[in-house]
Chain A
Amino acid sequence: MDLILEGLVKAFQLLASLDPEVLGIAMLSLKVSGLATLVSLVIGIGCGTLIALTRFPGKKVLVSLVNTGMGLPPVVVGLFVSILLWRNGPLGFMELLYTPAAIIIAQSVIATPIVMGITIAAMQQLPASLRLQILALGATRTQLVWMLIKEARLPLMAGVMAGFGGVISEVGASIMVGGNVKGYTRVLTTATVMETGRGNFDIAIALSLILLLFCFVINYILTHIQQRERPR
């Protein structure tokens, strides 16, 4: 019990004193996961919209694959991205392993199917007649796609949040491709793992509290989105 209390007190002291190391780790986490989410947003919303709005043979299989990808185990992603970026691997020449860029790549791979899957669902949830209505208003194909994305913006935002929530809290891929290098690739989750292993519970708790705060903000926004009414 003392251990927890002591840990909590010290954690709050660390946070209150704006400990540069803790803050640095938090900022890096936000930056890396934010960029990864941005990448997944461009690919996920683009491809997801295309998949949702077109008809082609094998669509069901593809959508199932995307949905499976939404639960991709981070360690598996970490493994394959490590192999790709390994010195003798296909992309070894880029020398990206154990850099923040490697974490961004791995996290993008994790977040993209999440954003894509939610995009497909969001687009398919729009009434089919809405497409007719937009075209009947005189829209071109491009205007149609743009207006549909605008209509689905709330569930799409939920997709973005889910993607971000997924990557900021994953540890497996980050530690494998980032290496948890101090001041360089050490993010909230990898640092928590390490500090816990060392018995530095105060720092670990401080890091966890920041992570929890991020998760709360994400879920608050998600809940807010979900509770809005639909237009008639």
Chain B
Amino acid sequence: MNQSANVLELQDLTVSRGGVRILEIPSFALRENEFVSLIGPNGAGKSTLLLAIMGLIQSESGSVWHRGVEIQSDASRLAFRRKIAMVLQEPLLFDSTVYENVASGLKIRGVGRAETRDRVLHYLERFKLSDLARRSARKLSGGEARRVSLARAFAVEPEIIFFDEPFANLDAPTRQSLTEDMDRIIRDQGIAAILVTHDQSEALRLSSRVVVLNGGKVVQDGSPAAVMNAPVNEFVANFVGMETILEGVVLSNLELQMAVRVGEHEIDAIGSPLQGEAVYCCIRPENVTVSLRDPAHTTSARNVFPARIVEIASLGPFLRLRLDCGFPLTSFVTRESFATLGLSQGTRVYASFKATSVHPIGKRGG
């Protein structure tokens, strides 16, 4: 194993609390410049993983490696911790000025006064905080406080940065502008990052890799597209918000070309589950096309179903349609096509999607 290619590496890391194992990571590596999103439900072990890497909670067993060197002594653990910055969910600012807050990590590290000043001023500027430098941290808005906590983390110029849901409870515009600032600096400086988030669009937008945790274990680790479009099991499929999950039974499978019975309908899909197996068919809403006329002769899509629009919801730039085809199906349409087609609740339409857009997942014990 070439450990030096990785900024960070874990082996057989386990954490237990009260006799219950809450984290079990056989191996995990973070490469240079990599941005990993860590997703999973509450209690999945996401924060525990970050704290265990930093040595802030006792791990039961396992080893942590930094650039190919194992962290063993207390001194090396402290030195390692000083290569990492961590932004927690709450800003947790100190009861002093904005300037002092941003300087705090540098003071802890014993960075000289002149350099501290230069760096603090630089990061205040980057996070648009220069005007607030002398302000007391007690008198900041929620968004400003997050900016300060981000500036404090980046000011130490870490090799690795951890974000534990740093933008929870913020309004959308603030969240977006903070995410952009954060992303820009991370890319500029080539910092490796791990982001714990509940927001899939955030994970999709920011990360080069998505790791799904559940019950303290990694259940999927791959590119965002792989995780979102090809969830490895029902849990991940539900968690990443695949809008349509249909239960069915495989009628036939010829060289991965499957026919799946869903209620009274038959859906064509591509996958490995064999004839007779119970499966979930996952269909992402952006892959479902809606038209007014039967597109059977004009589309290569293998699945075409007459449907009725039962619900319309607005999702920013597009609309989410819930369709009834005899089975439920969700589709995203742009506002433009929604208007062109003159759609409304109750409109009869045709829903079509390709066999390759159907991701079949074998049911557990099915």
The interface centre, meaning the residue of B85, B92, B93, B139 with most chain A CB atoms within 10 A of its CB, is B92
Cβ A135 vs Cβ B138 within 8 A = no
Does A5 sit within 8 A of B, measured CB to CB? no
Does B142 sit within 8 A of A, measured CB to CB? yes
- The number of inter-chain residue pairs (CB within 8 angstroms) is 69
Binds A, one of B76-84, B118-126, B220-228: B76-84
In this complex, the interface size class of chain B, counting residues with CB under 8 Å from chain A, is 20 to 34
Does A127 sit within 8 A of B, measured CB to CB? yes
Q: Which residue of A lies closest to B142 (CB)?
A: A232
How far does the Cβ of A229 sit from chain B's closest Cβ, in whole Å? 5
Q: How many residues of chain A have a CB within 8 Å of chain B?
A: 22
Does B129 sit within 8 A of A, measured CB to CB? no
Instruction: Give 1 or 0 for each of A133-146: 1 = CB within 8 Å of chain B CB.
Output: 10111111001000
Instruction: Give 1 or 0 for each of B123-141: 1 = CB within 8 Å of chain A CB.
Output: 0000000000000111110
How far does the Cβ of A45 sit from chain B's closest Cβ, in whole Å? 17
Binds A, one of B102-110, B173-181, B243-251, B292-300: B102-110
Does B54 sit within 8 A of A, measured CB to CB? yes
Among A127, A153, A154, A229, point to the contact of B92 (Cβ < 8 A): A127
Cβ B138 vs Cβ A133 within 8 A = no
Does A17 sit within 8 A of B, measured CB to CB? no
Cβ B138 vs Cβ A228 within 8 A = yes
Cβ B82 vs Cβ A138 within 8 A = yes
Does A231 sit within 8 A of B, measured CB to CB? yes
Does B277 sit within 8 A of A, measured CB to CB? no
Does A23 sit within 8 A of B, measured CB to CB? no
Contacts of A86-101 to chain B: CB distance below 8 A = none
Cβ A151 vs Cβ B91 within 8 A = no
Cβ A140 vs Cβ B84 within 8 A = no
Q: Which residue of B lies closest to A232 (CB)?
A: B145
Q: Which residue of A lies closest to B162 (CB)?
A: A136
A150-B100 Cα distance, complex, nearest whole Å: 13
Does A47 sit within 8 A of B, measured CB to CB? no
Cβ A232 vs Cβ B91 within 8 A = yes
Does B185 sit within 8 A of A, measured CB to CB? no
Sample 28 A-B pairs with CB under 8 A, ordered by A number.
A127-B90, A130-B92, A132-B86, A132-B88, A133-B88, A133-B92, A136-B54, A136-B84, A136-B85, A137-B85, A137-B104, A137-B152, A137-B156, A138-B81, A138-B108, A143-B108, A147-B94, A150-B94, A150-B95, A151-B94, A154-B95, A229-B139, A231-B93, A231-B95, A232-B90, A232-B91, A232-B138, A232-B145
List the interface of chain A (C-beta within 8 A of B).
127, 129-130, 132-133, 135-140, 143, 147, 150-151, 153-154, 228-232
